[in-house]
Amino acid sequence: MAYLYLFVAILLEVFSSTQLKLSQGFRKFWPSLFTLVGYSVTFYFLALSLKTLSMGVVFATWSGIGTALTVCIAILFLKEKITLRSIAGLCILLFGIILLNFS
């Protein structure tokens, strides 16, 4: 169940980060509201996952996978550019998360 909470926290963090970009510095009401509510609910689910999972695994997984998914959203929907170096960095990041979770 803890990994389910962590997965929900990751998805909500990606949603909230995307809304933060769309809020244009908190100038747009709905994306700003979604950012604040989304991050609040994100931390709730993150706290639930921390009840049984180690803090190192939770934060490495949350931040790493959240970063990778946010980059994917930025490329696919916000038309941001990515370089070969960025792709290599994301692969290294994901490999580290996998190692950490299986250690």
The confidence score (pLDDT) of residue 24 equals: 97
Q: 50-66, pLDDT tens digit by residue? A: 999 999 989 989 999 99
Task: Tell me the Cα Rg of the chain.
Answer: 15
At residue 97 the predicted structure's pLDDT band, cuts being 50, 70 and 90, is: confident
| Burial (Cβ within 10 Å: 0-12, 13-18, ≥19) of residue 61 | buried
Tokens of 85: 């170096």
Whether the pLDDT of residue 48 is over 90: the answer is: yes
Whether the pLDDT of residue 101 is over 90: the answer is: no
Tokens of 45: 């689910």
Whether the pLDDT of residue 102 is over 90: the answer is: no
Q: 5-38, pLDDT tens digit by residue? A: 999 999 999 999 999 999 999 999 999 999 999 9
Q: What is the share, in percent, of the chain residues with pLDDT greater than 90?
A: 84
